[in-house]
Amino acid sequence: MTHSTLEVSHLYTSFFTEHGEVRAVQDVSLAVGRGQVVGIVGESGCGKSMVARSVMGLVRKPGKIVSGRILLKGRELTSLSEQELCTIRGRDISMVFQEPMTSLNPTMRVGRQVQEVVTIHEDVPKQEARRRALEALGAVGIPEVEARYDAYPHELSGGLRQRVMIAMAMVMRPRLLIADEPTTALDATVETQIIALIKQLAETGTSVLIISHNLGVIAQLADYVYVMYAGRVVERASVLDLFDHPLHPYTRGLLGAVSSLRGQSKTLQTIPGVVPNLAHLPAGCSFAPRCDRCVARCASEQPELVTVGSGHEVRCHLAKGADAV
Amino acid sequence: MSGSLVHNLVRRLAYAFISIVGVAALVFVLLRMVPGNPVATLLGEHADNETVERISSSLGLDQPLPVQFANYVLGALHGDFGESYTLGKPVSELIGPAFLNTLWLAIAAALVAWVVGIACGLLAAIRKGTVVDRLFMGFSLLGVSLPVFMVAMLLQYLFARYLHWLPVAGITDWTGYILPAIALGWGSAGSIARLVRSSVIEVLQQDYIDTARAKGRTNTQVLVLHALRNAMLPVITLMAMQFSGLLSGAVITETIFSINGIGRLSVQAIAGRDIPLLQGTTLLCTFVIVMGNLVADLLYNVCDPRVRKGA
């Protein structure tokens, strides 16, 4: 049996705070195949970044993975020691963070920060590590790499810094790249360039897990999409299916908000209300309080993920019957 | 980049010079505004007016203030700070050895402050919220809050009088510096520990710490290679400024432990209305503090690439 690059099954990650257990990730399962780009989309606070951090083993205290399995090429990660995880992070899985302004060490030259990744994982001479860092910086389209190598982060623009972050993530040619809102802090033209760069990486065989609240970014990049709401996956489908036949009321709401911006509607469509408090989730469907199609059952019973088509699953009581579509 | 550094240095040196001349002028005027005639104090109550006037004129005290100041500055530029009224020696000869004693004390106290302060702050930060953290922070709060004279006397009682491990006061060899260094350094250690702790905790929350961990660095490597340098930036400034403070503000410690340093000399000068000597010690302390701040600024420049260009 061939393994997917990443397989997450029934992942639960919680924060144990003074106000009780905050369930940031509940029963999330997902898979990323070789060279595949998989997107996770949802509002802020829906748990999408926590899925990424769980995979990286970078959940900060008081948070921790409660249960579930995370397999990287068939190798279980959740049972590894911190020491063992250190040999995997940066080499087999790497991550690009949201804020290129603050994600680089301000007192270290950017070239050194890329070179560092090589020297952590391989016992190579300094010259060789430097050469590979330069190559990685060149590969992400940084002009005049020799000069930029010795620059400090504050001397580079946001777009260049995010390129440095990607070079850092790609220098070891990892199997999996996790990009957490990689373009959110950048302006639109730079966003387009970064998306093109990630696409190019996927074409060379790297699997990518991209996290965004921006459906446009997901539409351009992802092959397959997971929609998360309040810590749970509420819908998963191929990108075409999702955009053409969204089934969950939340997904429709998200798409509605975008299409209304494209001028098909005069008024901006929004989803009323806010994401529920993860420490006090409603007993039934967590989207029920905001849902315009909510029925009695929704308030009392948690819906299961059900398959509605090939590779299309949705967590909604209404989706089972024909009345949903 | 080095060009702007030199430019920066020249500008700061000019500011430093202006500060020193300003303080010298202020001290000069203030000391002469104090009611009473220093010569009368010097000669005692039985001196007649004629003698007082004669001595005043020989000391140049009858000349207009601006002339006196100009003479003083001209002399000071040649290393001549006048002659002490009470001790009958040139001020420069008195200040030299006293400054050396103070310097040794300041170095010893700074060593205590830096080593203890940084170690405690770092441990408290990585053991945040534990018993270790509370213990160290309580210890540092005590250091910051207890007055130096009280710490000094408690130390004298415990280690000299009760345990007989160390001399009570006076400097015969290096062991004489231990108790005064602890008394003087504890407070600084306390404030350094608190700053190191909060700075390390803040830096460890930064995004680039996550980046370093995502690269595969272990927690210890992240702390040493990525967090420490950034966390030390505000601490370096504090350390440099504290050191100049230690060099000029050890009056109480020097008095309690009978160390013939600048602080004790200043106290003697005040008691004897010895204007030239007091001017000399004050000028020296001003110089030390201005230079300390200058060094703090320059160190910050060297350590933080972000301020290097902008300034």
The H helix count followed by the E strand count for chain A is: 11, 12
- What is the spatial distance between Cα A317 and Cα A275, in angstroms, rounded to a whole number? 19
Q: B107-132 pLDDT, tens per residue?
A: 999 999 999 999 999 999 999 889 99
Per-residue pLDDT, B55: 79
With a CB cutoff of 8 Å and minimum separation 6, the contacts of B7 are: none
Under the banding of pLDDT at 50, 70 and 90, the label for residue B231 is very high
Average pLDDT rounded to a whole number, residues A187-211: 89
Q: Which residues of A touch B208 (CB under 8 A)?
A: 102-106
Task: Supply the mean pLDDT for chain B.
Answer: 86
User: CATH topology for A6-92+174-324?
Assistant: Rossmann fold (3.40.50)
CB B83 within 8 A of CB B276: yes
Q: How crowded is the C-beta side of B305, counted as CA atoms within 13 Å?
A: 14
CA distance B210 to chain A (A): 8
Confirm or reject contact between B216 and chain A (CB < 8 A): yes
Distances (CA, A) of B188 to A40, B94, B121, B260, B285: 51, 28, 12, 22, 18
Q: Tokens 């608190």 — which residue?
A: B194
A81 Cβ under 8 Å from any chain B Cβ: no
Cα angle A83, A89, A93 (rounded to 5 degrees) comes to: 145
Instruction: Give the strand pairing for A176-180 and A93-96.
Output: parallel
Confidence bin at B311 (pLDDT 50/70/90): very low
Residue A10 zone, left/alpha/beta (φ > 0; ψ -120 to 50; rest):
left
Mean pLDDT over all residues of chain A? Answer: 88
C-alpha A238/C-alpha B32 separation (Å) is 89
B222 touches A at CB < 8 Å: no
Q: Could you say which of A87, A89, A108 has the minimum Cβ distance to residue B214?
A: A89
Kindly report the pTM of this predicted structure: 0.80
The pair of three-digit structure tokens given for residue A273, joined into one six-digit string: 């209300």
pLDDT of A110 above 90 = yes
Query: Which of A111-120, B48-57, B154-163 has the lowest average pLDDT?
Result: B48-57
- What share of chain A in percent tops pLDDT 90? 54
Per-residue pLDDT, averaged over B179-190, amounts to 92
* Two structure tokens written together for B233: 């930036």
Collapsed DSSP state (helix, strand, coil) of residue A89 = strand
% chain B with pLDDT above 70: 96
Backbone angles phi, psi at B34, to 5 degrees: -60, 130
Q: Which residues pair with A208 in a beta bridge?
A: A37, A177
Give pLDDT tens digits for B198-228: 999 999 999 999 999 999 999 999 999 999 9
Q: Among the ranges A150-154, A283-287, B62-66, which has the highest mean pLDDT value?
A: A150-154
Q: Domains of chain B by range and CATH?
A: 2-77 (no CATH), 92-310 (1.10.3720.10)
SS (H, E, C) A102-159: CCCCCCCCHHHHHHHHHHHHCCCCHHHHHHHHHHHHHHCCCCCHHHHHCCCHHHCCHH
The A residues from 197 to 256 touching B (CB cutoff 8 Å) are none
pLDDT at site A130: 95
Residues within 8 A of B (CB atoms), A 103-142 only: 103-108, 113, 116-117, 120-121
What pLDDT score was predicted for residue B304?
Answer: 83
- From A94, A106, A121, residue closest to B230, measured CB to CB: A106
The contacts of residue A260 (CB under 8 Å, 6+ apart) are A267, A268, A269
pLDDT above 50 (res B310): no
- Among all residues of chain B, which has the CA nearest to that of A83? B218
Sign of the torsion angle spanned by Cα atoms A312, A316, A321, A323: negative
Per-residue pLDDT, A261 = 58
Model confidence at A262, pLDDT cuts 50, 70, 90, reads low
pLDDT in tens, A168-184: 998 998 999 999 988 88
Provide the shortest C-alpha distance from residue A51 to chain B (in Å): 15
Query: What are the sequence ranges of the domains in chain A?
Result: 6-92+174-324, 107-171
DSSP-derived pairing of the beta strands A176-180 and A207-212: parallel
Name the amino acid, one letter, at A302: Q
CA triple B242-B246-B250, angle to 5 deg:
145
Best mutation target among B126, B211, B219 (most A Cβ atoms within 10 Å) is: B211
Residue A323 has pLDDT above 50, yes or no: no
A86 touches chain B (CB under 8 A): yes
Note if the bond before A62 is cis, omega within 30 degrees: yes
Better-predicted residue by pLDDT, A250 or B58: A250
Residue B1 pLDDT > 50, yes or no? no
Q: Do B213 and A89 count as a contact with CB atoms less than 8 A apart?
A: yes
Strands (E), chain B: none
> A102: distance to nearest CA of chain B, Å?
6
Rounded to 5 degrees, φ, ψ at A166 are -70, -40
Mean pLDDT across B135-146? 90
Q: What is the ipTM of this complex?
A: 0.87
pLDDT(B35) > 80: no
B54: pLDDT strictly greater than 70: yes
